[in-house]
Amino acid sequence: MKKLKGFIVKEFFHIFRDYRTILILFGMPIMQIMLFGFAITNEIKNAKIAVLDHSKDELSRKLVEQISASEYFTLYANLQNVEEMKTAFEEAKIKQAIIIEKGFAENLYKTNQANIQIISDATEPNTANTLSNYTQVVIRNFQQDLNKQQQSGVMQIEAEVQMRYNEKLKGVFLFVPGLITIILMLVSAMMTSISITKEKEMGTMEILLVSPLKPFQLILAKVIPYLLLSFLNACIILILGNYVFGVPVKGNLILLLAESMLFIITALSLGIFISTRTDSQQVALMVSLMGLMLPTIMLSGFIFPIENMPLPLQVISNIIPAKWFIIIVKSIMLKGSSFIYVWKETLILLGFTTLFIGLSVKNFKIRLA
């Protein structure tokens, strides 16, 4: 045990001697969380739109005024003709154009019926869809106001909306758990896989293997420093999330920390597994970065809701450990769930860890035999 301790201390020295690694290890996640916490958002604000008003009457002007008053939109231009609109779209100056037919007010007064066309730049389908929905809401309200002025007695069902767990619909609530996950996953897996393959590449692994330490202790010694550092990282991110972005921790903090620890161990064991499969740092790095980056971002539910994906992908998403951790973090932090709500996810993470370690031990034995 004493030997093991000495070894762990040596690993710590290795990490701390290089100030650049330390800077990277702590500075970068902090910078990333700060940057993305503010910058990544699905909330649509000030989307640039243009209006092609063929009518230019009192009502159409009022409608345009109401649309541009919405915080969702910024009126980029009043267009004169369709050609101008096409150019604006092609040069990506606007996201949406609203065309008001000729004689808009006249039609409304005479026939009770008028037409508006919404044209969206659907190269970004999500934005297109959301913007057109928002515009329709504004138009509907406009229409209701018109009708209210002259009559009473239309049936009206009013909806009272409660936004649960995130009253102000802050994007940060969704992204902080995701960012914690991605940073922990990539940093932990990459750091272990590379530090072990480096010893292999340099040939120092063989020297260590003939030392009185058992291979298991050896790996432990390599991993423990990263475990502690990653855990510290997780704490820093949680604190920032809470104080800077107001993301609450409604549930039990100890539970949250314990689950983070478990997830870090999962990621570390994945790193160990990668390192038992290859001798070269390059391969280890490419697998843990190229192999993990996009799938973790895209299939974990971080940005794209898993339930909207086609079924095969929903199945595949189950093998992404990050998916389960994001569920756990969201439940504990935002919903205040207790362990009975997340035991299934916890068990799955434990299963992944056991699997990675088991496979690593197997690979390791084959190599030695």
Partner 1 sequence: MRKIRFILEKEFRQIFRNRGMLPIIFVMPIVQLLILANAATFDIKNIKIIILDQDHSTFSKRLVSNVNASPYFALQEPSDNTEQAEAALKEEKSDMYVVIPPDFEKDLIKEQNADVQMIINAIDGSKAGLASAYFANLLANFNVEMASSYGLKSNAMLTSNSNSKSIAVTNSNWYNQFLNYKFYMVPGILVLLVTMIGAFLSSMNIVREKEIGTIEQLNVTPIKNYEFIIGKLLPFWLIGLFELGLGLTLAKIFYSIPIEGSLVIIFGFAGIYLLAVLGMGLLISTITETQQQSMFISWFFLVIFILLSGLFTAIENMPEWAQRITLFNPVRYFIEVTRMVMLKGAGFSAVKSQFVVMLTFAFCLNLLAILRYRKTAS
Q: Which of 208, 209, 255, 309 binds partner 1 (CB under 8 A)?
A: 309
Residue 319 interacts with partner 1 (CB under 8 A)? no
Residue ranges in 69-108 that form contacts with partner 1 under rule CB under 8 A: 89-92, 95, 108
Least separation in angstroms between residue 2's CB and partner 1 is: 29
Binding piece for partner 1, criterion CB under 8 A, among 4-12, 24-32, 266-274, 357-365: 24-32
258-277 mask for partner 1 (x: CB under 8 A)?
Answer: --------------------
Size of the site for partner 1 (CB under 8 A): 124
Q: Among 41, 350, 301, 331, which Cα is nearest to 182's? A: 301
Residue (132 or 217) nearer to partner 1, CB: 132
200-239 mask for partner 1 (x: CB under 8 A)?
Answer: ----------------------------------------
Residue 49 interacts with partner 1 (CB under 8 A)? no
The whole-angstrom separation of Cα 36 and Cα 27 is 14
Q: Hey, CA dihedral for 184, 190, 193, 196, is it positive or negative? A: negative
Residue 297 interacts with partner 1 (CB under 8 A)? yes
Residue (212 or 305) nearer to partner 1, CB: 305
77 φ, ψ (degrees, to nearest 5): -160, 150
Mention every residue, 6+ apart, whose C-beta is less than 8 A from residue 2: none
Q: Which of 11, 30, 75, 142 binds partner 1 (CB under 8 A)?
A: 142
Least separation in angstroms between residue 214's CB and partner 1 is: 26
Tokens of residue 213, six digits: 């330490």
Residue (291 or 351) nearer to partner 1, CB: 291
Binding piece for partner 1, criterion CB under 8 A, among 161-169, 224-232, 233-241, 351-359: 161-169
Residue ranges in 165-194 that form contacts with partner 1 under rule CB under 8 A: 165-171, 173-174, 182, 186, 190-191, 194
Q: Among 360, 306, 311, 365, which Cα is nearest to 330's? A: 306
> To 5 degrees, how large is the angle CA 60–CA 61–CA 64?
85
Residue 282 interacts with partner 1 (CB under 8 A)? yes
Residue 290 interacts with partner 1 (CB under 8 A)? yes
Query: Count of alpha carbons within 13 Å of 123, Cβ hemisphere only?
Result: 7
Residue 115 interacts with partner 1 (CB under 8 A)? yes
CB 98 within 8 A of CB 135: yes
Least separation in angstroms between residue 6's CB and partner 1 is: 23
Residue 244 interacts with partner 1 (CB under 8 A)? no
CB 249 within 8 A of CB 328: no
> The tokens 């790996």 sit on which residue?
219
The whole-angstrom separation of Cα 242 and Cα 180 is 12
Phi-psi region of 198 (alpha: psi -120 to 50; beta: other; left: phi over 0): alpha
Residue (243 or 307) nearer to partner 1, CB: 307
The length of the chain in residues reads: 369
337-356 mask for partner 1 (x: CB under 8 A)?
Answer: x---x---------------
The whole-angstrom separation of Cα 239 and Cα 146 is 50
From residue 353, alpha-carbon distances to 24, 232, 289, 316, 323 in Å are 26, 20, 19, 18, 14
Q: Which of 116, 209, 224, 257 binds partner 1 (CB under 8 A)?
A: 116
Binding piece for partner 1, criterion CB under 8 A, among 4-12, 162-170, 250-258, 349-357: 162-170
**Strand boundaries in 165-216, DSSP class E:** none
Q: Which of 224, 316, 355, 359 binds partner 1 (CB under 8 A)?
A: 316
180 φ, ψ (degrees, to nearest 5): -55, -50
